[in-house]
Amino acid sequence: MAEQLSDRGKRILEAVIEDYIATAEPVGSRTVTRSHALALSPATVRNVMSELEEMGFLISPHTSSGRIPTDKAYRLYVNSILEVKHIARDNREEIQRRCRLAGKDLAQVLQETSRLLSSTSSYMGVVMAPRPAANVFRQIEFVKLAGRRILAIMVSQNGTVQNRLIQTEEEIPPEDLVRMANYLNELLEGLTIAQVRERLLEEMQSEKVRYDSMMSRALCLSEQTISTEGPELFLEGQANILDQPEFADAAKMRDVFRAFEKKSTLLDLLDRSMHADGVQIFIGSESHLLNMEGMSLITSTYMTGKDTVGVLGVIGPTRMGYGRVIPIVDYTAKLISRLLEAD
């Protein structure tokens, strides 16, 4: 795609994109010549813009207006023209400060991460928590409550905590609950949650368990505790999207609210990012993002050691400031990875 354009065409396309990002208004040839040192006449710029429109990089929203970039133009801009700079120092310091304040609980860290992605980008922050099935088991504990109720607490190595309130058929003494937890912790140590479920099924079918009441009850309690449901999704800053001129009218506002209620579509898109290295950019119609036009998503994975465990990113209009947002997403993902590794 890039070889189709001359250097002059690229410079003018870059000027149109940057002006449109800044103003959200269609860009005319005189605006380009006034705002950018291109040493070209408005007539020359106008002719080049006409060529860019024929090539599918620009469109005219109205007959007499200037032009706006297409998804094809943003893709060329991101891949071949944009120079991504280092994250601004104030953004870096803000991200570091907010992550420290979030505490050690993983859910709190990820919730705060989605908030800071939203506030530092001025768009919408999104974080997909690790899938429970991929978490590695650390320990389980059973706490006796009143009557026949038990609080089961399962902790993963990445800090994820699952709590379940279990009603048992018979009252279980606290000392038995301790023995059950010890048995399970030894049995399940170092397994992923997906492997835990398999091991539990194997144990429940063994001859040894059939003749040991305590082991049988322990396995039943653990099966009720451990969940492999889909990952939690943290979204913050939907109001920032509504502040964008593209979504100002009531109909588009309704579309935005409806779209973000369909988290399964966004989870599918984030899952695609799990298998890619570095920052991924989904522009407009490329992503089929919640079936909405005019939206883009910038993502990066976060890791523990060599294992990718989750995805975070920023959702905004296709007119978002890619050069500013990309380093924010990249830096935040690397910081969260370091925090998880430190734990």
Q: Is it the case that residue 160 has pLDDT exceeding 80?
A: no
Q: Is it the case that residue 153 has pLDDT exceeding 60?
A: yes
CA distances from 330 to 88, 183, 287, 334 (A): 12, 42, 19, 6
Q: How confident is the model at residue 115 (pLDDT cuts 50, 70, 90)?
A: very high
Task: Give the whole-angstrom CA distance, residue 78 versus residue 82.
Answer: 5
Least confident of 60-64, 111-115, 209-213, 292-296: 209-213
Higher local confidence (pLDDT), 160 or 236: 236
Task: Give the whole-angstrom CA distance, residue 29 versus residue 41.
Answer: 9
Higher local confidence (pLDDT), 209 or 331: 331
pTM of the entire structure?
0.75
Higher local confidence (pLDDT), 48 or 291: 48
Least confident of 41-55, 84-98, 288-302: 288-302
Q: Is it the case that residue 210 has pLDDT exceeding 70?
A: no
- Structural domains for the chain: 2-81 (1.10.10.10), 89-130+232-342 (3.30.450.40), 133-225 (3.30.390.60)
Higher local confidence (pLDDT), 298 or 130: 298
Q: What is the mean pLDDT of the chain?
A: 83
Q: Is it the case that residue 21 has pLDDT exceeding 90?
A: yes
Q: How confident is the model at residue 74 (pLDDT cuts 50, 70, 90)?
A: very high
Q: Looking at the chain, list the stretches that DSSP marks H as alpha helix, in order from N- to C-terminal side.
A: 7-23, 29-35, 42-54, 71-76, 89-101, 106-121, 174-188, 193-204, 207-210, 213-225, 238-242, 250-261, 263-273, 322-342
pLDDT, one tens digit per residue, over 227-282 is: 656 678 899 998 888 888 877 777 777 777 776 777 777 887 888 888 778 899 99
Residues 6+ apart with CB under 8 A from 222: 140, 152, 154, 184, 188, 196, 200
